[in-house]
Chain A
């Protein structure tokens, strides 16, 4: 029987994968993917806990997250395109203009 804890473990695994992606990856596009994975890990946890407690507000929150993530990606990808046109690369190590 698949219970709440399975879902939460799945969520934790997904979140960790996302986090490692964020920390290790150097390509900005990959960073976006990793962020999406983290967001969806949270969504899985929301939905599972909502079901467990029989409370719909968690699932509603998941919808909001999906919507926000979609708009964020829309804006983010636009910025990436401009960035790529300007520098010809998306490698994070190249963008160090704010070095102190």
Chain B
């Protein structure tokens, strides 16, 4: 039926194409570090990194209200902001605090993930210090007060007068305690 020589060529091609398929499987995984690097370099999604503030000019003519929201996802932790909201001028350095307590019976590791409202305001809230920059380890019954230091960027559109900064604590699975908190994509 199929000559032996052709069979050999066919088999070679099969091996090459299978290798290519395997390579593309690897490519899918290669997108993970590439994506993280891309986000880091372009600063698209650096929620968990320290921002730098270049222009510290305080704009006394404007007021912006920041509201704080605290949530816990599936952990026996109690988590709340000390102040529900603050009024600040754009460019003004402000520090607020959050209370956290582990009501469970075990030591747990949590990671807070910030999110912002309105949708695209993440770029305007520059965090200089935040408990979300690293994982928090709380022993059973332990409590702590944690600071957030930020500046609202002066380029915030004038139509925006209220911003919401919301944190959610997620449990860091035991198998993955080593994950660095600084480089989330």
A binds B: no
